[in-house]
Structure 1
Amino acid sequence: MFEVSGVNEESDIYDEIKASNNKTKTSKLNAETGTLLDQNKILVENGQVEVVASIYEFNSTLTDTIETKNQGIRASNKKSKKPLVQGVKYRVLLFDENDKFLTAIDGSSGGTPPVYNGAFRNTKYKWKAYSFNNSNNILPAIPANPTTANFNINSTNTGGLLFASGEVITSDKVNDNNKVNILFKRQTAIVDIVYSGRGMFDKITSLLGNINLPIYNSGVFNLLTGKYVSYTTPINSHVTNLNQTVSSKGDTIRTHTLYTVNDVQSISNYGVNLTSLTFPTDLNSQLGSRTFSSNLNFNFTKSFKPQLGKRYKIIIDFLTTSRNVTNTGGNVDWAYHNLFYNDLSKVYGFRHYNSNFYEKGISAGGQNSGEYFNWKALKPGFAQPFNVVDPCALVYPAGRWKMPAASEFNTLINIPSNISGTPRKSNAGSPDPVRYVNIVLGTGNFAPYDMFTNGLPLLMLGFRENGSNTISGYNTSSTGTSNLYFWSSTEVDSGNSTYFAISNTSSSGTTMNVRTANAAKTYGMNIRCVRNKNYIYKPNIQ
């Protein structure tokens, strides 16, 4: 009797960082490694967003076991990652060793396995097994005396055709079990187009464009050879929008899936061209969403031949930008916003705007949400252990960012205090209200992040007291002392580390006290991450 019961799912790319004993660990691609075929890095919206467009290839297989018992033949699962759902129909074609057709027997997963009682001991049999991976009866029937044409079946790209073939020699012992592994293979190639907003720390609420990729919807598959003998005319362009995608990770990932049955024709000069893409932003109700509509063309020139049974992922990964500051103090790429952790979604990210519309980070989304961290704590909060992990390294994609060393703050210290010229830094305030140090790096603005400054505004949010949630040094009035504090990654000793601070007494002018100093690691300070120049990009789409 024959029984088919499992299918391996396709593997995905992943990377992660785990915190343990003050060490960070970045995992590699999983055991079923994806192969990078091509990759492009593009700046869009006048450099406001970095996009990495990649295509990866993965294997996909189905593993089962076939055995003989009581001079009959039975197939059973040996190892599979995902069982077939109950009621999936399958068919096994049995041949003698000279390829003479003997019989076709149908079965259903989860039901009573069908039995072939005509098997002899110590005899070789050949078999072909196939399923459309659904509960419909398998048609057409195979006649008792089939012609070659009877072994041709129509397969669509979404039909889920599974196929396997092999041989089994029955044992010479009576009532013996003979097991043979069956490796099922999907007779489609799957192409996922993955739009990711995880590096923007935002949902994708609208997208529109075209996927330029030749897709063969159907073909004629020959069960004797296990190959397609003909294909329909390909469809070369496919409209992509929100309704044609599947959401994951709280709408930060949208996946549009296509299927093709042609593994003979190479694909070249393909890509994704978007006409618009919208992120709602974390201040949508106050400042609205942001829609990108230019330079959204992600094309590939390295050809590939899609192999049946494999999954391909075209990943369009949108990543937040950084601002470069280069002077005698060094060359550093600064995050445009403070680090923020949301304990409800478990996401490390950056604010979308330099604004005081945000709360002070004590209770946003959960008890340990916010932006006042003990030194190298996993989460904000005065009771969190320090010296655990670099939280910047946990921002997606993991390892792209890091906490700045104390010496890297010299790039900010060395910017002259002035009211004109670039670069410069001066005291400022906004109607939010919030005080900030306005570091101007260029003319104009840096929309949508900042409608007033093309630079690196540093919000003066004070600090969290040692051992409590009390915020000190925070002042929104135009006069009086106001402060900002950023942790560095530089450790002084087991209980103290170096921080960077700026203090002033007015929201105007250029008089300010800029310094680095040391403090106990249990004070809560903001963190302004910098790009890790040793980072090698790896997407995480799980």
Structure 2
Amino acid sequence: MNSTIKKTTKLIWPLIVLGICSGMLASCSKRDQAEVSENGETKLIFQIKGIDEGTVAVAKLEMPTGKTNEKELSHPFALGKEKLVTTPTVDALVSMEVIKTQGMSAKKTVVRNAVDTLNKTAIAPKAALTLMPSGIKYRLMVYDQSSTTLIKDVEAVSGTNPNIQVDGGKTYQWVAVSINEATLPTISNNTISAAALANKDVIYASGVITANVGENYLNITFQRKTTRLDVDIDSRGIFGGITNFESLDIGTGTGANFTSLIRSANFNILTGTWSGHTAVTPTANVSHITNKNTATDNFVKTLSVYTVIPAGTTIAANSLTLKPIFQIAMDPYVHIQPSNTNVKTRTYGDNNTYLSFSNASFAPLAGDQYRIAARMIESPLRVAGISWARADLYYDSRSGALDRYKFRPDAGSYHWILNSNSMDTEKNGYWNWMSLTPTGTPGSGDPCALVYPAGLWRMPNLNEMTTLVNREASLYQWPNTRQDRINAIYGYSGVNRMWPLDEPQPASYGKFNDYSDHFMLMFNGYRNLNGGLSSSRMTLNHMVKATSTGSDNREVYVFMYYQTSAENGTAGLALSQRATVSYFDSVTPDLPWQHSSTQLLSLTKREIASLNKLQGFNVRCVRAQ
């Protein structure tokens, strides 16, 4: 009996050993997916501890007099104080700050110098660790001690703990790599290509372990291998939510001397090093876009850009530049003539527009994170050395409006008010003298000063408006229109008076329509003491259409009134002028070059008039700085 059992055992054991070996060979012959769990005496069990965020900037809060304790608050410190920059297409208030840094001991001199210069309240940064979000894929690879033989290649997902069977008593090298997304790049010859890592958040970890018999637990702490630049673009000062980004570039210098800081490179997973740095096309830098917060919705976007900056790079003081190109929604949209089109978006920025920063010198490292902020502001038009807003001020009374005080998106068209934002912007563009709402208390405040960002604009004073009174102006007309004909819009013609600019704007000046590339004021009537509108474009249009047919002409008065911040006793002072116009209700001109048969007959002299403060007039703001 015992002899039979021994013989049977001798036959079975070779089969068991053969089966185990075959199973191990099959397991090692393919890449494992997600969690790996194998039976065996020795296992490597990997757990994700988190992502090392380096050191987070900390600011010291001054305590009131008599207090002895100091409070500390995690807070980014400034590398560039906010300043106003002007460009041919758009202005901006720009600033820069450090969110976190890696290797504070190695960077102490550079960072602390910046802190001492720009933020006297900053103190030593503190370390931070964040958890990896769920659903993020990472590749885990285990090699023999010499790193020449791949033992295991696992595609894992955060939230799982891969278990890898190995031989006890042996030493292994392991690496883990991810782009912090739900996908993984291809690895070829232990290298991930620069093209696959352009604008990617590369995180990496590696180590060596000698496996003891049984379960061996390893905590993986990922290190960030790229520098992160968060760019906040705020469009509240150009009065439309952001609909699209065409491109973004960050670098140093301008024009032919511009050098982009956005780079990619080949990544060696065994050494954790970069090689072969290459430029990244600016259109690839707009793939990580979020709303900064729910309160500002599409008006403030954050673009996160990941770059591989070569080691040893130092950004010189006052050399950083930003080049965003994006579109906003026109709110309300503008009806353009003579093309007869509705323009619903406007583009800001181009390849020749640079926003320059007053930054301190800094040396970015892998794992650093910086915030670059640009609060975009509509650029003014300069007449006689005065910087004027391009269009009139109006009050956005809609429920939930982020900002109440805005400039119309167009200086000369009246069709922008027709049902494009469900608000009576016609009446909301007539203001009592120095009132905080259109029909508010006269003298209660300067409404221009409340245009975002507050304090950048103001009401024109008496001297500034008098400059327009005395300066030569002309009738605004479409190209090829002659004599005193006025351009027609669906049978109605609006009178605009235009002043020459100090510096003529090139055709590439922004993406404004033709009206807003000229400084013009409208003959748009006023709000009378009964609250009704007199001689406004809309009321005249309805009146002319109701009373003139065929070849009948109708001569009417139209008025231009614009408030100043000055007063004369109980009266406010405003620019005033009257025009007499012969309106013709037809879009068919008598002659091809006329564009319409409506004609300007006469003008009174422009003057500064004393008028009732409770009458509503148009407002054109000027720059306060």
Range into which the TM-score falls when normalised by the shorter chain: 0.5 to 0.7
The amino acid of 2:231's aligned partner reads I
C-alpha contact 2:433 2:563 (8 A) present in aligned 1: yes
Q: Which runs of 5+ in 1 are unaligned?
A: 12-29, 63-78, 90-132, 163-184, 222-227, 421-425, 534-542
Q: How many residues align?
A: 412
Question: What CA distance in whole angstroms lies between the structure 2 residues aligned with 1:158 and 1:453?
Answer: 42
1:505 match: 580
Q: 1:405 aligns with which of 439, 461, 470?
A: 461
Q: 1:265 aligns with which of 309, 312, 318?
A: 312
Measured after TM superposition, the shift of residue 158 of structure 1 is 2.8
Q: Does 1:465 align with 2:528?
A: yes
1:213 match: 261
Question: What CA distance in whole angstroms lies between the structure 2 residues aligned with 1:486 and 1:273?
Answer: 37
Rg larger for: 2
Question: What CA distance in whole angstroms lies between the structure 2 residues aligned with 1:431 and 1:9?
Answer: 64
Question: What CA distance in whole angstroms lies between the structure 2 residues aligned with 1:263 and 1:187?
Answer: 11
Measured after TM superposition, the shift of residue 309 of structure 1 is 6.4
Question: What CA distance in whole angstroms lies between the structure 2 residues aligned with 1:406 and 1:245?
Answer: 49
Question: What CA distance in whole angstroms lies between the structure 1 residues aligned with 2:427 and 2:162?
Answer: 55
From the superposition, tell whether residues 531 and 210 of structure 1 become closer, same or farther in structure 2 (CA, over 3 Å). closer
Superposed, which structure 2 residues align to 1:483-494 within 5 Å?
483-492=559-568
Question: What CA distance in whole angstroms lies between the structure 1 residues aligned with 2:528 and 2:420?
Answer: 12
| Richer in helix (by share) | 2
Question: What CA distance in whole angstroms lies between the structure 1 residues aligned with 2:474 and 2:334?
Answer: 34
Q: Which runs of 5+ in 2 are unaligned?
A: 1-48, 58-73, 103-125, 137-156, 180-199, 206-222, 250-259, 336-340, 477-482, 545-553, 582-598
The amino acid of 1:352's aligned partner reads P
Superposed, which structure 2 residues align to 1:331-350 within 5 Å?
331-344=385-398, 345-347=401-403, 348-350=405-407
Question: What CA distance in whole angstroms lies between the structure 2 residues aligned with 1:158 and 1:140?
Answer: 27
Q: 2:497 aligns with which of 418, 426, 438?
A: 438
Instruction: Output the TM-score relative to the length of structure 2.
Output: 0.51
1:304 match: 362
Superposed, which structure 2 residues align to 1:59-458 within 5 Å?
59-60=99-100, 135=159, 137=161, 158=201, 189-209=227-247, 211=249, 212-215=260-263, 230-231=273-274, 234-240=277-283, 244-248=287-291, 249-260=296-307, 264-266=311-313, 268=315, 277-281=326-330, 282-283=332-333, 286-288=341-343, 289-291=345-347, 295-298=351-354, 304-306=362-364, 310-315=368-373, 318-326=376-384, 331-344=385-398, 345-347=401-403, 348-353=405-410, 354-359=412-417, 364-365=422-423, 370-380=428-438, 382=439, 384-416=440-472, 429-432=486-489, 433-441=492-500, 449=512, 451=514, 455-458=518-521
Measured after TM superposition, the shift of residue 322 of structure 1 is 2.0
C-alpha contact 2:78 2:98 (8 A) present in aligned 1: yes
1:169-191 CA distances to partner (integer Å, 9 max, x unpaired)? xxxxxxxxxxxxxxxx9886420
The amino acid of 1:332's aligned partner reads I
2:98 match: 58
Measured after TM superposition, the shift of residue 501 of structure 1 is 2.0
| Richer in strand (by share) | 1
1:152-204 CA distances to partner (integer Å, 9 max, x unpaired)? 87576636799xxxxxxxxxxxxxxxxxxxxxx98864202344443332344
1:472-507 CA distances to partner (integer Å, 9 max, x unpaired)? 2334556322112222122456x6432222222235
C-alpha contact 1:378 1:388 (8 A) present in aligned 2: yes
1:479 match: 555
Measured after TM superposition, the shift of residue 357 of structure 1 is 0.6
From the superposition, tell whether residues 417 and 316 of structure 1 become closer, same or farther in structure 2 (CA, over 3 Å). closer
From the superposition, tell whether residues 444 and 207 of structure 1 become closer, same or farther in structure 2 (CA, over 3 Å). closer
2:622 match: 530
Q: Residue 240 of structure 2: SS of its match in structure 1? A: coil
From the superposition, tell whether residues 239 and 220 of structure 1 become closer, same or farther in structure 2 (CA, over 3 Å). same
The amino acid of 2:415's aligned partner reads F
C-alpha contact 1:363 1:370 (8 A) present in aligned 2: no
Moved more, 476-485 or 395-404: 476-485
1:342-363 CA distances to partner (integer Å, 9 max, x unpaired)? 2333333222221111339999
Q: Residue 370 of structure 1: SS of its match in structure 2? A: helix
Q: Residue 90 of structure 2: SS of its match in structure 1? A: strand
From the superposition, tell whether residues 277 and 393 of structure 1 become closer, same or farther in structure 2 (CA, over 3 Å). same
From the superposition, tell whether residues 452 and 314 of structure 1 become closer, same or farther in structure 2 (CA, over 3 Å). closer
Moved more, 334-343 or 507-516: 507-516
**Aligned CA-pair RMSD:** 5.5
Instruction: Output the TM-score relative to the length of structure 1.
Output: 0.58
Q: Residue 518 of structure 1: SS of its match in structure 2? A: strand
Moved more, 343-352 or 31-40: 31-40
Q: Residue 468 of structure 2: SS of its match in structure 1? A: helix
